[in-house]
């Protein structure tokens, strides 16, 4: 969450510890930009085993991380610069405006201010901030406040420690989403909707280089799409998961949809519609709060961004150009990776590109 400073490291590692998959990206710093050295995406739940969000134990990460670092031939002790992130209920990011304050007064004033805006109890709060701009006319400061709880940070560092890793920087998911976008897209104007579609949640960020920052998490992701398929097509978890990976929202051409008209079909909305509704609601809120409706594009990232048919569905329903975000504009790709640009890596790439 710190401002971009001069980069001292030569190589860096970004780790995105998702509830479903661990994503690790290893970058080499070039004079300008970065080069991808290697990456790994590894599910923490075996294929075919039902992923139950409330039922996942933190112990499962250790062995997965150890294994990934072995595969990537990285010695955890030798990592120069390691950046990770945390997300979920006990994290929050808010853009606020305050009167101009000198550095030495800013921190305590912001802590006080944060308590008003952020629902984490004061004694447990870990606060970070970034001054976005100082308005010339009013001298007011626009500040991005990020907060997490000590408990969450401890749990996260404990997980990494079991694999012999110690992070140099722990970011907040939604800020890492914005950073990845900022570092890997050519945008100057307008407002963008960024969706990091994971397994059990989606980080939504509405932001533009000159626009107000807004973020919230939506409680839907790949898990919900698999459940929809199970319900709609009367399938077991594994079969539904395979169907999802192959056809996504589309019908299997060899086996056209057989709809079972159960009660659930009528009362429960399909996940794609629930997501679209949340986007629309947030856009309305954004227009009201920020007085800005210059929306240009929706970018999808995360594993569920690969769901077939989703980009088109969102484009049509939200009525904005929508595309999958490939976070590699400023990352040189060696030949062997050239066809493997993967939106599931967006967060990890952004993290590895962070300064100290």
Ligand X SMILES: Nc1ncnc2c1ncn2[C@@H]1O[C@H](COP(=O)(O)OP(=O)(O)OP(=O)(O)O)[C@@H](O)[C@H]1O
Residues that bind Mg ion (CB under 5 A): 18, 198
Per CB under 6 A, the list member of 14, 167, 208, 221 interacting with ligand X is 221
Q: How far is the CB of 100 from ligand X (least distance, A)?
A: 37
Tell me the window of 15-23, 57-65, 108-116, 317-325 that interacts with ligand X (CB under 6 A).
15-23
Q: How far apart are the first and last CA of the chain?
A: 9
DSSP, res 319: I
User: What are the angstrom distances between the C-alpha of 168 and each of 18, 50, 80, 234, 253?
Assistant: 19, 34, 9, 47, 49
Q: How far is the CB of 141 from Mg ion (least distance, A)?
A: 31
For position 126 contacting ligand X by CB under 6 A, the verdict is no
Identify the H or E element spanning 312: helix 310-314
Per CB under 6 A, the list member of 26, 29, 244, 354 interacting with ligand X is 244
Q: How far is the CB of 223 from ligand X (least distance, A)?
A: 6
Pick between residue 18 and residue 350 the one whose CB is nearest to ligand X: 18
DSSP-based three-state secondary structure for 350: helix
For position 198 contacting ligand X by CB under 6 A, the verdict is yes
The phi, psi pair for 194, rounded to 5°, reads -110, 125
Pick between residue 20 and residue 29 the one whose CB is nearest to ligand X: 20
Beta bridge partners of 203: 196, 217
Label residues 142-170 b or e (16+ Cβ within 10 Å = b).
bbbbbbbbeebbeebbebbeebebebebb
- Tell me the site size for ligand X, rule CB under 6 A: 20
Beta bridge partners of 82: 13
The answer to whether the beta carbons of residues 28 and 97 sit under 8 Å apart is no
Pick between residue 18 and residue 343 the one whose CB is nearest to Mg ion: 18
* CA–CA gap between residue 331 and residue 37 (Å, rounded): 10
Q: How far is the CB of 189 from ligand X (least distance, A)?
A: 29
For position 327 contacting ligand X by CB under 6 A, the verdict is no
SS3 per-residue string spanning 218-229: ECCCHHHHHHHH
Q: Rule CB under 6 A: which of 263-322 touch ligand X?
A: 302-304, 306-307
Q: How far is the CB of 49 from ligand X (least distance, A)?
A: 12
The answer to whether the beta carbons of residues 277 and 90 sit under 8 Å apart is no
For position 222 contacting ligand X by CB under 6 A, the verdict is yes
Pick between residue 143 and residue 218 the one whose CB is nearest to ligand X: 218
For position 20 contacting ligand X by CB under 6 A, the verdict is yes
Q: How far is the CB of 310 from ligand X (least distance, A)?
A: 8
For the chain, what is the total number of helices (H) and then of strands (E)?
Answer: 10, 14
The partner in contact with residue 179, picked from Mg ion, ligand X, none with C-beta cut-offs of 5 to 8 angstroms by kind, is none
Looking from the CA of 152 toward its CB, the CA atoms found within 13 Å total 23
Pick between residue 168 and residue 242 the one whose CB is nearest to ligand X: 242
Q: Rule CB under 6 A: which of 328-347 touch ligand X?
A: 344
Selection from 280, 134, 261, 313 nearest residue 206 by Cα: 280
Q: How far is the CB of 187 from ligand X (least distance, A)?
A: 23
> What number of other Cβ atoms are within 10 A of residue 55's Cβ?
8
Tell me the window of 19-27, 94-102, 111-119, 122-130 that interacts with ligand X (CB under 6 A).
19-27
Pick between residue 18 and residue 208 the one whose CB is nearest to Mg ion: 18
For position 91 contacting ligand X by CB under 6 A, the verdict is no
The answer to whether the beta carbons of residues 356 and 81 sit under 8 Å apart is yes
Per CB under 6 A, the list member of 1, 15, 21, 68 interacting with ligand X is 21
Q: How far is the CB of 245 from ligand X (least distance, A)?
A: 5
Q: Summarize as ranges the residues that interact with ligand X (CB under 6 A).
A: 18-21, 198-201, 221-223, 244-245, 248, 302-304, 306-307, 344
């Amino acid at each position: 969450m710190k401002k971009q400073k001069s980069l001292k490291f030569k190589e860096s590692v970004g780790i995105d510890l998702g509830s479903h998959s661990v994503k690790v990206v290893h970058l080499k710093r070039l004079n300008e930009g970065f080069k991808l050295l290697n990456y790994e995406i590894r599910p923490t739940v075996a294929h075919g085993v039902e992923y139950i969000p409330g039922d996942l134990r933190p112990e499962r990460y250790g062995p997965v991380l150890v294994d990934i670092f072995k595969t990537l031939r990285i010695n955890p002790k030798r990592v120069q610069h390691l950046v990770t992130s945390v997300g979920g209920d006990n994290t929050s990011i808010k853009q606020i405006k305050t009167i101009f304050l000198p550095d030495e007064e800013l921190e305590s004033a912001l802590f006080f201010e944060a308590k008003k805006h952020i629902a984490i109890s004061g004694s447990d709060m870990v606060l970070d901030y970034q001054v976005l701009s100082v308005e010339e006319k009013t001298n007011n400061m626009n500040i991005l406040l990020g907060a997490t709880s000590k408990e969450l940070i401890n749990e996260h560092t404990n997980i990494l420690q079991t694999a012999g890793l110690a992070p140099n920087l722990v970011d907040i998911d939604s800020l890492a989403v914005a950073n990845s976008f900022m570092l890997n897209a050519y945008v100057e104007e307008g407002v963008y909707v960024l969706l990091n579609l994971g397994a059990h949640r989606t980080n939504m960020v509405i932001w533009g280089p000159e626009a107000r920052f807004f973020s919230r998490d939506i409680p839907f992701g790949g898990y919900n799409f698999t459940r929809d398929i199970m319900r709609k097509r009367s399938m077991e978890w594994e079969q539904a998961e395979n169907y999802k990976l192959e056809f996504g929202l589309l019908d299997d051409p060899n086996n056209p949809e057989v709809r079972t008209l159960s009660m659930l079909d009528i009362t429960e909305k399909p996940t794609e519609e629930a997501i679209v509704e949340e986007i629309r609601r947030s856009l309305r809120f954004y227009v009201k709060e920020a007085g800005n409706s210059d929306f240009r594009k929706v970018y999808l990232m995360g594993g569920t961004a690969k769901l077939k048919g989703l980009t088109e569905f969102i484009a049509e329903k939200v009525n904005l150009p929508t595309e999958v975000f490939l976070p590699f504009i400023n990352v040189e790709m060696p030949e062997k990776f050239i066809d493997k640009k993967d939106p599931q890596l967006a967060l990890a790439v952004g993290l590895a590109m962070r300064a100290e």
